[in-house]
Chain A
Amino acid sequence: MSVDAKIATSEVEPAPKLVTLTIDGTEVSVPEGTLIIRAAEMVGTNIPRFCDHPLLDPIGACRQCMVEIPDAGNGRGFPKPQASCTMPVAQGMKVNTQVSSPVAEKAQRGMLEFLLINHPLDCPICDKGGECPLQNQSLSHGAGESRFGMAKRTFPKPINISAQILLDRERCVLCARCTRFSDEISGDPFIALVERGALQQVGFYEDDPYDSYFSGNVVQICPVGALTSAAYRFQSRPFDLVSTTTTCEHCAAGCELRTDHRHHQVKRRLAGEDPEVNEEWSCDKGRFGFMYGRGEDRITRPLVRRDGVLQPASWPEAIDAAVDGLRAAGSAVGVQTGGRLTVENAYAYSRFARAVLGTNNIDFRSRPHSAEEAEFIAARVAGRSLAESVTNLDLEKADHVVLVAFEPEDESPLVFLRLRKANRKNGLKVTTLAPFSSRGSDKLNAELLQVAPGGEAAALDSLELDSGAVILVGERAGVLPGLLTAVAAKADASGARLAWIPRRAGDMGAIEAGCLPNLLPAGRPLDDAAARVDVSSAWGGTPISAEPGLSAVEQFAAAASGDLKALILAGVDPADLADPAAALAGLEGADFVVSIEQRQSAVTERANVVFPAALVEEQAGHFINWEHRERPVALVNRANRTPMTDLRIIAALGDALGSELGFRTPADAFADLTELGTWEGARPSGPKVADGGVPEGHVVSSWRELLDASSGNDYELALRATARPAVVRVSPATAAQLGLGDVASVSVGDAKVELAVMVTNSMADNVVWVPANPGVGSGDRLPAVVGSPVTVQAVNAEEGVQA
């Protein structure tokens, strides 16, 4: 490469070189390297295909897309038709598709006939019927009658390749989309082509089922009905479904979904297509985790505690009861909003707390958290626009991505897919600061910088980073003293870009809405007088208290001690906090608890008034994803069982308290927040907390795995059956030191759980990794706060413990 070329490529992104060719007599110019099949789309010709998928490597297996190429651009043509899905265009090439070439048309017709000779005639009972590319092709191009009439290939059908995914080998056209997806995209090659020739089939190994976090994608990309999901099987015909484009409510990736409902019941969800967010993929939690509102525990009517018992009440009764309790509490109220609200709902709570209740006691963090984290968020996260933020596309173009207290496959699966793509296609270097090399890290070919919890700051400091690097820090970093301080300092010193990736869909929206004790909406720092004036004037002049509010943990403590009189909680599970007992004590100690919830919970059990809130599928609004990208949530289900959204409930409470909220629809709320505008003033400098280092003794490392017994996955049994088995991981040396066998008992504080032991070679000594998920092992749910001291003891198998 010449020096000039170097300058050119480093300074400007070169415009793609265009190649001009003729397709069916129409001239078209497309970027160099474009495959013929996609160039043909540019002139409006859809060449039929089965194996081709734009996000998978070309394979040329199904041979359906044959075209005639009388001139390859060099004056010579191909004597036989060619597969258009594997051949790039060339300058001056002439292509004749089925539109203009009888040869191509016959080749395609012949291929369809071959695909059908062994295909069963079970369209009437096939889930794919009605949206099946093979069926569509056969109807539009196929012969009315088969010339075959001999013995078809038969297999037992269907077989479970996982609890969720079923395979009907007779229907399979062996396009290898599923196996290529698993191998190339998700890195879970637990399905593979097996056997050969006419017996070739998709297969798996019996003891290692296709338990991939991304398994549902193979059902979606299967061009026939060979792969179906236990969840959707026989649930509906595609033409009876109503489709709505919306956003997933589970994690901070903000994936676009196509949600299909019939008779006002969601039947399935498919990955939507958004190249900048989720491309065409989704994780299984997003795809299958939509049943949580279907159980008996759904709250459909307001409840008011009378004589110690929660009893159904009318809306006016419940609102009156809530107003009485809140009036009595004055501004001694704490508000906790959880991580699952749309930005509109979160904004309602934020304005309600500040302008109606007159308090800054508001926190969305229903998980372990710290003051350092709140300061970091105010300084480094809040009030950013998409343009200022690290994006998915930035990750794809980065030279080096450093993962700090962040396990993307579990904590943000689509970020994981993006990193894997970048590693595979662009050679992205990934470094993970973690106690061991996880399966996800292995699939990213990530370099492990082995650290025990607390060792991250020092390790990060040792890395050579520059402006081509991106540091991705997870929400777990917030509980390791000094780590977020160090991350910010490293980014500043090295020029590396920095992104904080929370876990839940509502987290970033809650931050923008100002659901933190130190933060007003749109990134305005509470301790900045100008910011308070800004917000106050936007909110009709109501003064904003300068007094910093209480965090969630502080609220529970203050409620327990009597300093806070009332709590308003929305979507908070005390078990998710670092000290669940303290949270429950706060709920017990508060004079008055208002719970705004979808389902019965530990909070509703202790509430004085419970308001039923609408599900995400029952309302419109927005999430803001980790990139600060607005993600629209559409109303899917109009026949909602609980028409009141959080926002409507809060607005009603405001009205009843004599202080209007200022909006009562999502659109108005969004406009109100948007009108507030960006914060032009100074941002806080951020936390200055000393590095806590690695604690002595055995310490917990933990994160929450994607699939678990959490309530978001409730009532979707097949999904939960594909979760990873819960284990406690220790290094070989630690296992030997502790004399661990197959099973160990793990204790954190008073909680104790028995788990299968997995001795992990790459694990740091003295670190004990346990999943932070509910419902693992036998025993209590561990308050698995990263870095806390832990005791591990061998369990004698003879005691009859379940391994």
Chain B
Amino acid sequence: MTDTATNPGVDVLTPVLSEHWGTENSWKLSRYETTGGYRALRRALDMQPADVISLVKEANLRGRGGAGFPTGMKWSFVPQDNPNPKYLVVNADESEPGTCKDMPLMMASPHTLVEGVIISAFAINAHTAFIYCRGEVLHIIRRLQQAVREAYAAGYLGKNILGTGYDLDIIVHAGAGAYICGEETALLDSLEGRRGQPRLRPPFPAVAGLYASPTVVNNVESIASVPSIIANGAAWFQAMGTEKSKGFTLYSLSGHVKHPGQFEAPLGITLRELIELGGGVREGHELKFFTPGGSSTPILTAESLDIPLDYEGMAGAGSMLGTKALQVFDETTSVVRTTLRWVEFYKHESCGKCTPCREGTWWLVQLLMRFEAGTAEEGDIEKMLDACDNIGGRSFCALADGAVAATTSAVKHFRHEFEQGYHTPAWELFPYEKSAVFATDGAAR
């Protein structure tokens, strides 16, 4: 494999963000600078902020946090005539099941993010930026705190950055355990010291976000991609990816594959290619189903192995690219059990604000527990699907849609397994120990 079907002329893997992850002390400023770090910042500070926005727009960088909204366009929505301060908030609350790309990025190369933050904040004329990182990842927060301290000491942050007259402060903020804070308006409420519950939109954060001031919220990977775009240009970025999904991205492969991990590739690679890169499905087993972009994206089966993993390809397959978090499950896995555990996750993480999510996930979990225990009754599938119909698209934010997507896609592809739940426990159909990674090959993978 030298290139992929969707990316002729471009290598299969294109490490940019991850390029220096393996190097010793990769998280230190001194090391980052030796590999060209902060050169993009100097270039950006020589530009007009509006030109930085134009360049990112031209590159067509789309948000890497799930929704895929064009980053440059988001920045251009910030009303510069608004007298309030502007804020940049990095969404580092990575919590979507399956998603595990931002954490290694911030641990191995926090300065890539910090440099991206400074450039992005400069572009939208912000003088305070926040990195809102989920709280349960101590060492990553240590590295972020240290990177920011180093950047201040080197004159990349604070007053009069590199003598340009531009001022910026970065605050590293630890969350406290709430998936919903990955939703940008809930994140803003949380960052204001409140319960992380989503806000009404409009007003959109670009107009009235943090402290009711114009605010841009971007995913870690999106912001971290900015320095490379500044350094190498829009055409370079556009040389990777598919027609409407440009650039490189981090694909996270997890589950029943030989070598799960991070794969930085141009957008549009297929799961078949990724699984191949990951050494294939674990020995002696075969793919049963997968999520293309975290648990909120409807599951797909082997027949979708060759669809490009880009925004359009996944939408065309009835799913979503989401966070490009591919969770692979083999034939030992009970779909009913997996669905229950996802829906339990959504029930646990529901903020409680709106009725369908709060009450609907409560109901779905109890129904799914009956399917798992083999005590569901004839008609429960229809009841469950009808409850899903009453939740989906009716709730305040997209959280409950994740529970609905998991449930309805599972029934769509594996209805018979739910029917078996009318009489047989899932653990009898799919002995759970067989799915455990250490069941077959012990501690060593």
Give A contacts to B, CB under 8 Å.
58-64, 66, 79-81, 86, 106-107, 110-111, 113-115, 117-118, 147-148, 150-151, 153, 173-174, 193, 195-200
Contacts and interface: CB of A to CB of B under 8 A. Distances in A.
Interface string B361-403: 1110011000000000000000100110111111110000000
A86 B200 contact: yes
Interface stretch (B16-24, B29-37, B345-353): B345-353
Contact of A110 (B352, B354, B361, B389): B389
A64 B355 contact: yes
B43 interface: no
B350 A197 contact: yes
A740 to B, nearest CB: 35
A197 B200 contact: no
Contacts of B362: 117-118, 153, 198
A173 B355 contact: yes
A141 to B, nearest CB: 14
Contacts of A61: 353-355, 396
Nearest to A79: B393
A110 B394 contact: yes
Contact of A196 (B352, B363, B386): B352
Interface in B325-365: 347-356, 358-363
B394 A107 contact: yes
Interface of B: 178, 195, 200, 347-356, 358-363, 366-367, 383, 386-387, 389-396
B401 to A, nearest CB: 10
B390 A106 contact: yes
Contact of A80 (B383, B394, B396): B394
Pairs A-B, 10 closest by C-beta atoms: A110-B390, A200-B352, A80-B393, A114-B359, A197-B350, A150-B366, A198-B362, A197-B352, A196-B352, A63-B355
A115 B355 contact: yes
A118 B393 CA distance: 22
Nearest to A57: B200
Given A147-B383, A193-B195, A198-B361, A110 B356 contact: yes
A179 to B, nearest CB: 11
B90 to A, nearest CB: 24
A197 B366 CA distance: 15
Contacts of A148: 363
Interface core residue of A80, A151, A196 (most chain B CB under 10 Å): A196
Contacts of B353: 59, 61, 174, 200
A38 to B, nearest CB: 16
A58 B353 CA distance: 13
Contacts of A198: 347, 350, 352, 358-359, 361-362
Nearest to B396: A60
A63 B356 contact: yes
A58 B386 CA distance: 28
B354 A63 contact: yes
A4 to B, nearest CB: 20
Contacts of A115: 355, 359
Contacts of A197: 347-352, 358, 361
A106 B388 CA distance: 12
Given A174-B358, A200-B358, A58 B200 contact: yes
A174 B359 CA distance: 11
Nearest to A64: B355
Given A61-B354, A63-B354, A117 B390 contact: no
Nearest to B387: A110
Contacts of B387: 110
Given A196-B178, A197-B348, 12 more contacts: A62-B355, A80-B393, A80-B394, A86-B200, A110-B387, A118-B362, A196-B350, A196-B352, A197-B350, A197-B358, A197-B361, A200-B358
Contacts of B349: 197
Interface core residue of B359, B386, B391 (most chain A CB under 10 Å): B359
A200 B180 CA distance: 14
A219 B87 CA distance: 40
B373 to A, nearest CB: 12
A60 B201 CA distance: 11
Nearest to B201: A86
B135 to A, nearest CB: 15
A110 B359 CA distance: 11
Nearest to B383: A147
Given A110-B389, A147-B383, A196-B178, A117 B351 contact: no
Interface core residue of B178, B351, B354, B391 (most chain A CB under 10 Å): B354
A193 B358 CA distance: 14
A63 B347 CA distance: 18
Given A114-B360, A153-B362, A196-B195, A59 B200 contact: yes
Nearest to B370: A150
A153 B350 CA distance: 15
A62 B354 contact: yes
Contacts of B389: 106, 110
A197 B383 CA distance: 22
Nearest to B389: A110
Given A63-B356, A193-B352, A80 B363 contact: no
A107 B390 contact: yes
Contacts of B391: 110
Contacts of A60: 200, 354, 396
Contacts of B347: 197-198
Given A64-B355, A197-B351, A114 B363 contact: yes
Contacts of A150: 363, 366-367
A113 B390 contact: yes
Contacts of A117: 359, 362-363
A114 B195 CA distance: 23
17 contacts: A60-B354, A62-B355, A63-B354, A79-B393, A80-B393, A110-B386, A114-B360, A115-B359, A117-B363, A153-B362, A174-B355, A196-B178, A196-B195, A197-B351, A199-B352, A200-B353, A200-B358
A61 B387 CA distance: 18
Interface core residue of A79, A110, A151, A193 (most chain B CB under 10 Å): A110
Nearest to A81: B394
B216 to A, nearest CB: 24
A151 B200 contact: no
B421 to A, nearest CB: 15
Contacts of A80: 392-394
A700 to B, nearest CB: 40
A58 to B, nearest CB: 6
Nearest to A176: B353
A482 B391 CA distance: 67
Given A114-B359, A114-B363, A198-B347, A63 B352 contact: no
Nearest to A116: B359
Contacts of B394: 63, 66, 80-81, 107, 110-111
B359 to A, nearest CB: 4
A173 B396 CA distance: 15
A801 to B, nearest CB: 40
A115 B358 CA distance: 10
B395 A63 contact: yes
A74 B389 CA distance: 27
Contacts of A113: 390
Contacts of A195: 352
A184 to B, nearest CB: 14
Contacts of A106: 389-390
Contacts of A153: 362
A111 B195 contact: no
Contacts of B383: 147
B264 to A, nearest CB: 34
Contacts of B351: 196-197, 200
A770 to B, nearest CB: 36
Contacts of B350: 196-198
Interface core residue of A63, A173, A199 (most chain B CB under 10 Å): A63
A336 B288 CA distance: 92
A200 B197 CA distance: 12
A710 B325 CA distance: 68
B278 to A, nearest CB: 35
